[in-house]
Amino acid sequence: MTTGTFRPAPGAAPLPRQILAQATMEARLLLRNGEQLLLAIVIPLIVLVGAVQAADRFGLSFDDPTVDVLTPGVLALAVMSTAFTSLAIATGFERRYGVLKRLGTAPLSRSALLAGKVAALLVVEVLQLGVLSVAGVVLGWSPDVAVLGLMAAVVLGTAAFAALGLLLAGTLRAEATLAAANLVYLLLLAGGAVVLPASAYGGLGDVVQWLPSGALGEAMRAACDGDLPVVELAVLAGWAVVGGAAAGRWFRWE
């Protein structure tokens, strides 16, 4: 080849660069969506303040102070609402309007798409957890945080719920995804041991703690109490692996 001659070298970028590019784009889109970002913060904040203030009226009593029990649960709720509900709905309509079809023509694999979306979600969740933690401290929360356990719970919880959200969005129509994501969110909020500890559900607590919501809620409560929730983290990892494999297998771009 003579000096100065251009020789094109087409080909896909390395997988880490694909994931970084996708994560950067997804994070920008999420942060620009002011309404969705506001709801992602305001709804858990309302749940936190309302639950702490009204716990006595509903006869909720715990061995530890109420705010110390409920605040980690609301942090888990914030992760679930962003990583599952918001992601499923947004991806469902991206699929409906052909956005994902265009991404499918690029050398972007389903695994890279999932990893990029998870990384972008973590950016939003840092903002959510920061605001909710400050609100909890104002309400009297005094955690003894196991930082490693908390970080692992957030990352694995995000991965598990994002995988399930993408599985939902990649197999159902957008309208069905909207209805199903909201229904599942409400069911897990009410009976999934995410805000309230599994012990509050009596005998059912032995079952719901194996759900991703129960595992995340219990992991967040344990981590905020200074413990490393090994079993709960393993459950979340299992959901992340199974959900990710299923999303990679059955996710449809259009």
Helices 110-138/15-32 angle, 10° precision = 50
Q: How many domains does one find in the chain?
A: 1
From CA 80, how far away is CA 92, in angstroms rounded?
A: 17
For 7-16, 91-100, 107-116, 185-194, which range has the lowest pLDDT when averaged over its residues? 7-16
pLDDT in tens, 188-225: 988 888 988 888 888 888 888 999 999 999 999 999 99
Residue 2 lies in a domain: no
Distances (CA, A) of 170 to 49, 95, 110, 177: 35, 8, 10, 9
Please check the confidence at residue 33 and state whether its pLDDT lies above 80: no
Residue 5 lies in a domain: no
From CA 142, how far away is CA 69, in angstroms rounded?
A: 10
Mention every residue, 6+ apart, whose C-beta is less than 8 A from residue 98.
254
For 18-27, 137-146, 154-163, 222-231, which range has the lowest pLDDT when averaged over its residues? 18-27
pTM of the model: 0.85
Which pLDDT score, from 0 to 100, does residue 10 have?
63
Please check the confidence at residue 47 and state whether its pLDDT lies above 90: no
At residue 106 the predicted structure's pLDDT band, cuts being 50, 70 and 90, is low
From CA 207, how far away is CA 43, in angstroms rounded?
A: 27
Rounded to an integer, the average pLDDT of 240-244 is 92
Average pLDDT, the chain: 84
Which pLDDT score, from 0 to 100, does residue 144 have?
86
Burial 71-89 (b: 16+ CB within 10 A, else e): bbbbbbbbbbbbbbbbbbb
Instruction: State the residue range of the domain holding 104.
Output: 15-250
Residue 85 lies in a domain: yes
Please check the confidence at residue 32 and state whether its pLDDT lies above 80: no
Please check the confidence at residue 1 and state whether its pLDDT lies above 60: no
Residue 61 lies in a domain: yes
Range list of H helices, the chain? 15-32, 34-54, 66-80, 87-96, 99-104, 110-138, 147-169, 174-191, 205-208, 212-223, 230-250
Please check the confidence at residue 40 and state whether its pLDDT lies above 80: no
pLDDT in tens, 54-93: 777 766 777 778 888 889 999 999 999 888 988 888 888 8
Residue 231 lies in a domain: yes
Phi, psi of 61 (to 5 degrees): -135, 140
At residue 234 the predicted structure's pLDDT band, cuts being 50, 70 and 90, is very high
From CA 195, how far away is CA 16, in angstroms rounded?
A: 35
Is the Cβ–Cβ distance between 57 and 210 less than 8 Å? no
Which pLDDT score, from 0 to 100, does residue 55 have?
73
Place of tokens 């409560």: 221
Which pLDDT score, from 0 to 100, does residue 9 have?
64
Residue 1 lies in a domain: no
Residue 3 lies in a domain: no
Residue 7 lies in a domain: no
